Structure 1
């Protein structure tokens, strides 16, 4: 989708900038260009520079300006020419493309959408519409796990949990506070509450045994669709709060086993 976004803006800019302009990705493959015949070609010498910084650099008669949200640039704009005008055009294009990419990610990113749903930042009527736009399966069962860090070292528990659940189309991991991490896990229809507790236990054991990070995990009930994820999250919160009072020695607390529903 980024390719289409970038190509659309490059196409609009090509008449205003009297030079060949375009965008390369982190592998130095041209993904958008005012000269369509160059889309898909690669310059391996450019990729070496992309890994260094966000500074402007010049290669083979073109001026490049890397951009992206991470420390290592995701993309680079290129403008034909090596003069000050080319550098200015490249900087302006990098700003424009970076902002449009950020807007698109915030608007359509699934992880951000799920986070807003569980925090009740999306109107109920908009949830179904947005879920349809993002192609969420409304018939899939999911459960919310709230992982609260009790003690930790320099290892990022968030990164560890993300690596445990790498499929970003099915499972969603995000921070809501410095100590609270949410996992929204897609489930099979045969999964029951004991299976959820086993999964939570494996998360806690991995963090404890391999990374010396102690956590408590609250588990909400399994829900179908997207709208009820906020309820499952509140249940996971309640499980942790009640467990903190009545089951102080329990690492895993499931809402199903609280006996207060």
Structure 2
């Protein structure tokens, strides 16, 4: 544990300075002390100092300093002192304590380990060995959520996610950059995708209510070992990319439900353009206005049912028939025909994809 490193450092400083040196937790319990017998006892002065606003204070022959991380007291360092002239020694001791903690966290922290797997910063052969050192179940089933959201508030997105999933032994929250957070969530079984989607909805709704931000989530597939976290993460990334292109009105994109977008995304753009030129000769699709496109969208949503589409659009059935005939004149496609409707649907998706690629 890192406290062993703190103890070694305290002993070294005490030996050089001939003064008592040590570290307490945020409640004043001594976790490292040059006088070994003091470890585990409560330092009443440190406990009282923790409640004060001051960063540093001289109390009863000891100089205390707060180590604050993420807006909370992580440790209190102290040194035997008669006046504030010893503050430079305490500051140096505190800096070394922070460096030791950083070193320990980087080497032994579970979240750092999982992040290294996600970003492929660890050799595959080392993952099993490291997971045993950190007591992480290598073969548990997990799924990766990629959460994209930006908050202007003091509370960060990852802090909200951590509060939703506090079990740090099983669920891991990893910050990728300012806008992207990864949640590696343990699941009960490999077919639990309904629950996986429900959790994504909870995350989106919570971020919206707590931070007033719109979040987008990409979901990878469920994997059964730590090594494949990278695979699920890449799938979540792909879900986000494809979903934003083809389903921009949604904010949760599941790798298992990308539909036609997955296929189109992997077709070379040259073939996509050839298909588009074949279907929409003379750029006939460009002549379709917003009202017409809305009509087509509703028509597809209602499985080519003319009466139901007209009812939802609040127009007469004959008006809808006229619009469909207009579309046929412009594009040569009769949308009441299943085959033509499929061709048109795919062509519109291809057009959307090429528009996104071309900026």
Q: Which residue of 2 aligns with 1:134?
A: 134
Q: Hey, what's the Cα distance between the residues in 2 that align with 1:136 and 1:116?
A: 14
Deviates more, 1:85-94 or 1:17-26: 85-94
CA contact (8 A) 2:20 2:33 kept: yes
Q: Which residue of 2 aligns with 1:184?
A: 184
Let me know the Cα RMSD of the aligned residues.
2.3
Aligned to 1:15: 15
Structure exhibiting the larger radius of gyration computed from Cα positions = 2
Q: Is the 8 A contact 1:28 1:46 kept in 2?
A: yes
Secondary structure, counterpart of 1:74 in structure 2: strand
Does the CA-based 8 Å contact 2:2-2:100 persist in structure 1?
Answer: no
- Structure 1 unmatched ranges of 5 or more: none
More strand by share: 1
Q: Distance in 2 between matches of 1:19 and 1:153?
A: 46
Cα deviation code 1:169-218 (max 9, x no counterpart): 11111321322221110111265222211111121122234543222211
CA contact (8 A) 2:65 2:77 kept: yes
Per-residue displacement from partner, 1:209-234 (whole Å, max 9, x unpaired)? 45432222111011112111000000
Distance 1:66 1:153, change over 3 A: closer
Unaligned runs of 5+ in 2: 264-359
- Give the structure 1 partner of residue 231 of structure 2: 231
Aligned residues between the structures: 260
Measured after TM superposition, the shift of residue 52 of structure 1 is 4.9
Higher share of residues assigned helix: 2
1:91 maps to 2:91: yes
Structure-1 separation of matches of 2:215 and 2:237: 14
Report the CA distance between 1:152 and its aligned residue. 5.5
Aligned to 1:247: 247
* TM-score, normalised with respect to structure 1: 0.89
In the alignment, is the contact (CA less than 8 A) between 1:53 and 1:72 conserved in 2?
A: no
Change in 2 beyond 3 A, CA 1:115/1:15: same
Contact (CA 8 Å) 1:157, 1:213: kept in 2 or not?
no
CA contact (8 A) 2:147 2:216 kept: yes
Within a 5 Å distance, the mapping from 1:33-112 to structure 2 comes to: 33-52=33-52, 55-83=55-83, 86-112=86-112
Q: Aligned-pair distance for 1:114?
A: 0.9
**More relative contact order, 1 or 2 (CA 8 Å, 6+ apart):** 1
